[in-house]
Amino acid sequence: MDLEEAKRLAREGLLDLYSPLRMPMVMVRGEGARLWDSEGREYLDFVSGGRAVTGVGHCHPKVVAAMREQAGALVHVSNDFYTEPQLRLAQRLSALFGGRCFFCNSGAEAIEAAIKLGRKHGYQTAGSEKCEIVSALNSFHGRTFAALAATGQPKYHRGFQPLPAGFLHVPFNDVEALRGAVTPRTCAVLLEPILGESGVYPADPEYLAAARKFCNAHSAALILDEVQTGLGRTGKMFAYQHYDMEPDIIALAKGLAGGVPIGAMVAREPFAGAFEPYDHASTFGGSPLPAAAALAVLEVIEEEHLVENAARIGRRLAEGLEALREKMPLVKRIRARGLMIAVDLARPVAGEVKRRCAAKGLLVNTVGDSMLRLLPPLVLSEEQADRGLGILSEILATVAQQ
Residue 344, pLDDT score: 98
Q: Which residue from 128, 179, 298, 310 is spatially nearest to 236, judged by alpha carbons? A: 310
Share of the chain above pLDDT 90, in %: 99
CB-CB contact of 320 with 387 (8 Å):
no
- Contacts (Cβ under 8 Å, ≥6 apart) of 97: 238, 250, 266, 268
Paired strand residues for 135: 169
Helix (H) / strand (E) element for 62: namely helix 61-71
**Is the per-residue pLDDT at 20 higher than 90?**
no
pLDDT at 341: 98
Distance in angstroms (rounded) separating the CA atoms of residues 121 and 187: 7
Note the pLDDT tens digit of each residue in 253-271. Answer: 999 999 999 999 999 999 9
Q: Name the band, by pLDDT with cuts 50, 70 and 90, for residue 372.
A: very high
Each residue of 323-332: b (16+ CB within 10 Å) or e? ebbeebebbe
d(CA 88, CA 296): 11
202 to each of 67, 167, 206, 331, how far by Cα in Å? 35, 22, 12, 19
41: pLDDT strictly greater than 90: yes
C-alpha–C-alpha distance, residues 326 and 153, integer Å: 32
Summarize the confidence of residues 333-359 as an average pLDDT: 98
Give the pLDDT confidence score for residue 209 in this predicted structure.
Answer: 98
Residue 214, pLDDT above cutoff 90: yes
Mean pLDDT calculated for residue range 33-61: 97
pLDDT digits 0-9 by tens, 290-299: 999 999 999 9
Please tell me the distance from the alpha carbon of residue 335 to that of residue 325, in angstroms, as a whole number. Answer: 12
Main-chain dihedrals φ then ψ at residue 11, nearest 5 degrees: -60, -40
As beta bridge partners, residue 221 has 188
User: What letter represents residue 168's amino acid?
Assistant: L
Q: Tell me the H-state helices in 279-329.
A: 288-303, 306-327
Question: For residues 374 and 364, what is the distance between their CA atoms, to the nearest angstrom?
Answer: 6
How confident is the model over 53-68, as pLDDT tens digits?
A: 999 999 999 999 999 9
Q: Domains of the chain, with CATH numbers?
A: 3-56+305-401 (3.90.1150.10), 62-303 (3.40.640.10)
Please list the active-site residues: 140, 225, 254
Q: How many CA atoms lie within 13 A of 339 on its CB side?
A: 37
Rounded distance between C-alpha atoms, residue 342 and residue 371, angstroms: 7
Answer yes or no: is pLDDT of 21 > 90. Answer: no
What's the mean pLDDT in 86-105?
97
How far is it, in rounded angstroms, from Cα 256 to Cα 101?
A: 13
Quote the percentage of the chain above a pLDDT of 70: 100
Binned at pLDDT 50, 70 and 90, residue 249 comes out as: very high
Q: How far apart are the first and last CA of the chain?
A: 36
Give the start-end residues of each E strand in 61-195. 100-104, 132-136, 167-170, 186-191, 194-195
